Amino acid sequence: MAFIDYYKTLGINKDASDNDIKKAYRKLARKYHPDLNPNDKEAEKRFKEVNEANEVLSNPENRKKYDQYGEHWKHADEIEKAKQQQQYQQEPVYGDFEGYSGEDFSDFFESMFGGRASSDRGSFVKFRGQDFNAELQINLQDAFKTHKQTLTVNNKNIRITIPAGVENGQTIKIKGHGGKGMNGGPNGDLYITFSIVNNTKFKRDHDNLYLTVDLDLYKAMLGGSITIDTFDSKVKLTVKPETQNGTTVKLKGKGFPKYKKEGEFGDLYITYNIKLPTNLSEKEKQLFKDLDELR
């Protein structure tokens, strides 16, 4: 989650030639290509990093900016303009310039870059740090309850609270835990996207849960009671006589927690799958024949 060194990503030195960059990129792109690594999340991530590194280092202008400003290379043009503007403000000014005062320029820089140009020689505009993006994988059971986890970002451990009900693909922001600001500017933010692995028998759709329960033929025909598992407990259900296959019943409030709504839950939907008896005895077969004749 720390700043990515593009040279390290491609496995080359900073004095590598354009040809070295091209060779390293082709080798790694083939190695991590999604077609050769189906369903491999780590290979997919590395493939994206290799492509990003190549896009920067294979472009002479971008590479020059990257070598000079590192993680702030995308702001190179603004930094250079800020330097030139500061030098301009340090020189004697002759004549009248309508519409712009020194204060006007400061306000302009503040609105553009989030910092104020300094009148002290040797300092200039503040720049906000780079935002970081990371993926955090948790199990569906973990997402059911609010809990804490410790992450390592820029060699620092930060403890975050993960609210119950967080969804797969949802992104949360951890303010100030991105890249360091430049010239005293604020740090960037850390964006964490959740990848939730469902290794349960429940199917989740937002706040609602769905479960298929097997029901024997006799219970379906005659009715009775059964005990089933909800996500975090057990409940007893009454089965109505002559329940049909595919019948769905709703258990209100037995679903998944609603995100950042303490004490509120979705619903649990139970669908009955009626199982026909097998390995019937001769007597059982005769009873079914008798029943068929009665019907």
Digit-coded pLDDT (tens) for 142-157: 999 999 988 877 678 8
Convert the pLDDT of each residue in 107-146 to its tens digit. 444 444 444 444 444 445 677 888 888 888 889 999 999 9
For the chain, percent of residues with pLDDT exceeding 90 = 24
Q: Which segment, 21-35, 60-74, 254-268, is predicted with the most confidence on average?
A: 254-268
- CA-CA-CA-CA torsion sign (10, 15, 18, 20): negative
Domains defined along the chain, listed by start = 6-113 (1.10.287.110), 132-197 (2.60.260.20), 203-278 (2.60.260.20)
CA atoms within 13 A on the CB side of 256: 25
Convert the pLDDT of each residue in 220-235 to its tens digit. 888 899 999 899 899 9
The predicted pLDDT at position 236 comes to: 92
pLDDT at 79 over 80: no
Q: Provide the pLDDT confidence category of residue 77 given band limits of 50, 70 and 90.
A: confident
pLDDT at 41 over 50: yes
Q: Cite the DSSP H helix spans in the chain.
A: 6-10, 18-32, 41-57, 60-69, 76-90, 102-113, 140-143, 217-222, 282-294
For the chain, give the number of residues. Answer: 295
The predicted pLDDT at position 84 comes to: 60
Mean pLDDT for the chain overall:
80
Q: Of the candidates 265, 148, 181, 276, which has an alpha carbon nearest to the alpha carbon of residue 219?
A: 276
The predicted pLDDT at position 30 comes to: 86
The predicted pLDDT at position 87 comes to: 52
The predicted pLDDT at position 210 comes to: 96
Q: Which segment, 76-80, 173-177, 237-241, is predicted with the most confidence on average?
A: 237-241
Give the strand order in the sheet containing 132-139. Answer: 132-139, 190-197, 171-174
Q: Which two tokens stand for residue 136?
A: 């955090």
Convert the pLDDT of each residue in 91-102 to its tens digit. 443 333 333 334
Give the strand order in the sheet containing 203-205. Answer: 203-205, 208-216, 268-275, 248-251
Q: Is the pTM of this model over 0.95?
A: no
pLDDT at 81 over 80: no
Q: Which two tokens stand for residue 125?
A: 């505009």
Residues 6+ apart with CB under 8 A from 192: 134, 135, 136, 151, 160, 171, 172, 173, 174
The predicted pLDDT at position 140 comes to: 93
